[in-house]
Amino acid sequence: MDVNAKVLSREGNEVTLEMTASAADLDRAIAITLKKISKEVNIPGFRSGKVPAKIVENYVGEEALLQEALEDMLQEMYGAAIDQTGIFPVDQPRLDVKNLTRGEDVQLEVKVVVKPEVKLGQYKGIEVEKELYVPTEEDIDNEIKRMQERIARTMDMPEGTAVEDGDIAVIDFEGFVDGVAFEGGKGEKYPLGIGTHTFIPGFEDQLIGVKSGEETDVKVTFPEEYHSTELAGKEAVFKVKVHDVRRRDLPPVDDDFVKDMREDCDTVAELREKLMAEMQEKAEQMAVDVAQNKALEQVVANAEMDVPAIMIDEKLDQMLRDFEGQLQYQGLTLEKFFELTNSTRADWKAKQKDRAEMTVKQDLVLEAIVKAENIQAEDADMEKQMQEIADTYGKTLQEIKNTFSSNEQLKFFEYNVKMLKAIDLINANTVIK
């Protein structure tokens, strides 16, 4: 198709395009449309698909025929216009037909929202402070306790045992606000880990010291930001009965314990030494990661752009789809999640909007750096990323190459590689103090 396109104007993020196709292209589109319609219409005296073009044309009418022919032309015309002008639409175009007449060129005007122009600020030599956490002996103690808990046996304690921090209290409970029981505030034989902060703040603490077989009242105040607006900020009383107390029997921390838990250690002292070294290394890497994230945030803050609302909305939709996938993996539906949290899609999006906007801005800034630095995705870069995916999913490199072999999929890999290299460029030029 012979298409000519040019940008007539740009106001903010809205571009107006002019698109022209030849009269010959319109004639071809009309002929194709007539053939298609002849197979769809039933006209007395003619077999399906054998209706003469003139009869079909009279049956359909000139205006409808031209409109349908234009529909068949639009996708190719618009694609050619995008290629010729180099714009990147982020929303559906709005079409204004300037001329659609047989024997004349087709003239269209299109308004469409495009990716914003990004004016980069400083992105090299960003200075950030490294906040390094220094592991303590208490951190080592806590890690060893977690190791103990991984292999600990859970024992049912005798009747009359008082609940301690770290126990599992098997309880019946029912909650009341102003003396009235509320929905969702009742449970039976619920195994509550004391110290896990599973329930409302203050609930678990008030069970410490209560003995199995006893009943007690637990008084709490729901947080102001509680998901149920009917309960948020309200005072409540829970009638609680402790049925059983379960306690973990932690193994002693001795050399035998160490050998069971770690192949590279023989003594408790050696375990503590290795844990400290590992924690220090992890803390150092975490400090660098945090500093680099701060640098990226500063690079984004230094840039100027006007992000279209549609881009943030689409990012929120994508994030919600990802969240739905995570819920499904846990055996929940999105609808059930909103029911349990007494919230809606709109509530979820409102809470995630700032994160969505920052993600969009980061992508736009990284794309601008890719362009400014002429960053390329080499074959070796593409293969490296595919190998990482193969390693993650236990596949061979060739299997991944076979799976992601289409042009669109390869473009996705190419885009990711370029964005990662832009981040590497920022990190390589960041000054971490």
Q: Which CATH class is domain 3-113?
A: alpha beta
Domains 3-113 and 153-249 share a fold: no
Query: How many residues can be counted in the chain?
Result: 433
* Helix ranges, 164-211 (H): none
What φ, ψ does residue 36 adopt, rounded to 5°?
A: -65, -45
Architecture of domain 268-432: Orthogonal Bundle (1.10)
| pLDDT computed for residue 41 by the predictor | 65
Q: What is the pLDDT of residues 1-44, one digit of tens each?
A: 889 999 999 999 999 999 999 999 999 998 888 888 777 666 65
CA distance linking residue 226 with residue 201, whole number of Å: 11
| Residue 57: pLDDT over 90 | no
- Name 246's Cβ contacts closer than 8 Å, sequence gap at least 6: 154, 155, 156, 157, 167, 168, 169, 170, 191
Edge-first strand listing for the sheet containing 106-113: 3-11, 14-21, 106-113, 94-99
Q: What is the pLDDT of residues 131-162, one digit of tens each?
A: 999 999 999 999 999 999 899 999 999 999 99
Dihedral, 278, 281, 282, 283 alpha carbons, nearest 10: 120
Q: Which is nearest to 131 in space by CA: 359, 293, 360, 356?
A: 293
Just give the CATH number of 153-249. 3.10.50.40
| pLDDT computed for residue 47 by the predictor | 59
Query: Domain extents for the chain?
Result: 3-113, 153-249, 268-432
Render the burial of 226-247: b for 16+ CB within 10 Å, e for the rest.
Answer: beeeebeeeebebebbbebbbb
The confidence band for 52, taking pLDDT boundaries of 50, 70 and 90, is low
CA distance linking residue 79 with residue 74, whole number of Å: 8
Q: What is the pLDDT of residues 374-421, one digit of tens each?
A: 999 998 988 898 899 899 999 999 998 888 888 888 888 899 999 999
